[in-house]
Amino acid sequence: MQTIKPRTMSGFLELLPKEQKVFNDMKEKIENVLKLNGLCCTDTPVLELSEILLAKAGGETEKQIFRFSKGETDMTMRFDLTVPLAKYVSLYKNDLTFPFRRYQIGKVYRGERPQKGRLREFYQCDADIIGDGELPIEADAEVISILSQIYSALKVDAEILISNRKILFGLLQELNLQDKQNEILGLLDKFEKMGKELCYKEVQNLAEDKTDKIFEVFEIKKLENLKTCGIDNETYKQGVIELERVFELLKSLNINNVRLDLNIIRGLDYYTGTVFEGRLKEFNAISIGGGGRYENLTGYFSSSKMPGVGFGMGLTRLFVLLKELNKLDFQTPSYSKVAILPLGETVNYCFKMASELRKINIPCEVLYSKSFKSRMNVANKIGVPYIIVVGEDEVSSEIFGVKNMITGETKKVSLQEIKSVL
């Protein structure tokens, strides 16, 4: 039989057990924060009808999708969790309570060229608050707060940059450049990649003598300066009011790792107000979560207006970046608190002991390799913190030595006392 060389496709990530354990722990910490903030869990299919997933797609998105047919069914693998959410709330609106507070953690698929921070298959974490008809600005601050809490739970040194798209919308209206709004905002969105000099020249080709005013406002870093730069446009003023309220609420929520940055525009065209993005201090050009306010999530699927605010975070991307920074602890692949090592013909008793320990929520495993030496080697390799050696004497006396594998100390205890030792 011909041997096939095992390999994994480019852009798809597989982890060793000790890495997978750390990733799962990260996911659990994130989920705990989301639950703590009262969000319920949703889980939408990986495969959807193409007409559903591609309702809002176009341009680069259509080039990046995995799409195929089975019989007469045209299907696409989800490339984000937002469009499935729009379908979900439209389909089950009458069964949901609004504001609908939800989160989802799941894999998404993008057929783009793999590069640093970008994979073809990765875990995405989304959190959203969706209203029926209206949604107060308080929801914007709350969602930003949740993202900040996630960074704290993961012990990630990150800051969240916040803006409001109404400010730049209103600025361009004031300057009678609304007909060139998309092109100018598209250039400003690339400000960090292009650099100021090139970005200025490109904007100048569209805005001519109004370019200086655009950059005067665009580079403001203090909220109070937005009020005194001479813009008398209602959309602009509303954006400043909303931004001021968000920062006020974040202060009440004791969120301090936030700052104003009008560079945050977000490329998605459905953001209409608050926008924000998380950045690692060490990789400040790479987003590790972001989102904003959208006024009509379900426009393609329902006539009902459902404004919302939410964020998406690439969990796999964050894991890879933290691993590169050596900020993850890959100590042990095992969840076991204790390993039970049979000595002699005591395997049956060891299984009974393991059953009793699991009843009191102590993760454990029985090591029954051929030799006692190999059992000890396994215990050392999996990094289990305690071992119990069970021989005929221990079975007859029902007194067991619990050895701490870090300190080397052994305590003699009864089966009932093991829990207190561990």
Domains identified in the chain, total number: 2
Q: Do the Cβ atoms of 334 and 383 come closer than 8 Å?
A: yes
| Greater pLDDT, 17 or 285 | 17
| Beta carbons within 8 Å of 203's beta carbon, 6+ residues apart | 184, 187, 188, 211, 214, 215
pLDDT at 330: 85
Examine the pLDDT at 59 and tell me if it is beyond 60.
no
Examine the pLDDT at 58 and tell me if it is beyond 60.
no
In this prediction, residue 32 has a pLDDT band, given cuts at 50, 70 and 90, of very high
Ramachandran angles phi, psi of 21, nearest 5°? -65, -45
In this structure, is residue 357 part of a structural domain? yes
Indicate whether 204 and 267 sit together in one domain: yes
In this structure, is residue 102 part of a structural domain? yes
Q: Average pLDDT in the 195-213 region?
A: 90
Examine the pLDDT at 207 and tell me if it is beyond 70.
yes
In this structure, is residue 359 part of a structural domain? yes
Residue/partner pairs of 41-45 with CB below 8 Å, 24 or more apart: 41/102, 41/103, 41/104, 42/85, 42/88, 42/102, 42/103, 42/104, 43/104, 43/106, 44/78, 44/81, 44/84, 44/85, 44/87, 44/88, 44/104, 44/106, 45/78, 45/84
Alpha-carbon distance of 379 to 383, in angstroms, equals 6
> Which domain-ending residue is among 324, 359, 394?
324
pLDDT at 111: 85
In this prediction, residue 93 has a pLDDT band, given cuts at 50, 70 and 90, of very high
> Which domain-ending residue is among 324, 359, 387?
324
Indicate whether 36 and 145 sit together in one domain: yes
Examine the pLDDT at 29 and tell me if it is beyond 90.
yes
pLDDT, tens only, 330-376 = 888 889 999 999 999 999 999 999 999 999 999 999 999 888 899 99
In this structure, is residue 299 part of a structural domain? yes
**Selection from 58, 242, 29, 36 nearest residue 156 by Cα:** 29
Q: Average pLDDT in the 96-111 region?
A: 95
pLDDT at 193: 86
Give the containing element (helix H, strand E) for 108.
Answer: strand 100-109
In this structure, is residue 75 part of a structural domain? yes
Indicate whether 247 and 348 sit together in one domain: no
Q: E strands, 138-263, where?
A: 158-164, 258-260
Distances in Å between the Cα of 166 and the Cα atoms of 243, 262, 358 are 10, 11, 56
**Selection from 288, 294, 306 nearest residue 269 by Cα:** 294
Q: Percentage of residues in the chain with pLDDT exceeding 70?
A: 98
- CATH number of the domain residue 305 falls in: 3.30.930.10
Alpha-carbon distance of 298 to 302, in angstroms, equals 6
Lowest mean pLDDT among 15-24, 200-209, 265-274, 378-387: 265-274
Indicate whether 256 and 360 sit together in one domain: no
Indicate whether 98 and 188 sit together in one domain: yes
Indicate whether 364 and 316 sit together in one domain: no
Indicate whether 149 and 30 sit together in one domain: yes
In this structure, is residue 69 part of a structural domain? yes
Query: How does DSSP classify residue 307?
Result: -
Report how far apart the first and last C-alpha atoms of the chain are (Å, whole number): 50
Examine the pLDDT at 284 and tell me if it is beyond 80.
no
Q: E strands, 24-99, where?
A: 40-41, 47-49, 67-70, 73-77
**Selection from 419, 384, 381 nearest residue 400 by Cα:** 419
Indicate whether 65 and 178 sit together in one domain: yes
Maximum Cα–Cα distance for the chain, whole Å?
A: 93
pLDDT at 168: 94
| Greater pLDDT, 1 or 86 | 86
Q: Average pLDDT in the 402-422 region?
A: 89
Indicate whether 301 and 362 sit together in one domain: no
Q: Average pLDDT in the 92-103 region?
A: 96
In this structure, is residue 194 part of a structural domain? yes
User: Three-state SS for 387?
Assistant: strand
Examine the pLDDT at 61 and tell me if it is beyond 80.
no
In this structure, is residue 7 part of a structural domain? no
Indicate whether 116 and 242 sit together in one domain: yes
What's the domain range around 352? 338-421
pLDDT at 230: 85
Averaged pLDDT score across all residues of the chain: 91
Lowest mean pLDDT among 90-94, 248-252, 325-329, 373-377: 325-329
User: Three-state SS for 329?
Assistant: coil
pTM for this structure? Answer: 0.90
Whether the ω angle into residue 99 lies within 30 degrees of 0, i.e. cis, is yes
Alpha-carbon distance of 132 to 116, in angstroms, equals 39
Lowest mean pLDDT among 197-201, 239-243, 294-298: 294-298
pLDDT, tens only, 126-160 = 999 999 999 999 999 999 999 999 999 999 999 99
Indicate whether 304 and 380 sit together in one domain: no
Q: Which two tokens stand for residue 291?
A: 């989102």
> Which domain-ending residue is among 324, 346, 364?
324
In this prediction, residue 296 has a pLDDT band, given cuts at 50, 70 and 90, of confident
- CATH number of the domain residue 383 falls in: 3.40.50.800
Indicate whether 292 and 347 sit together in one domain: no
Q: Do the Cβ atoms of 332 and 289 come closer than 8 Å?
A: no
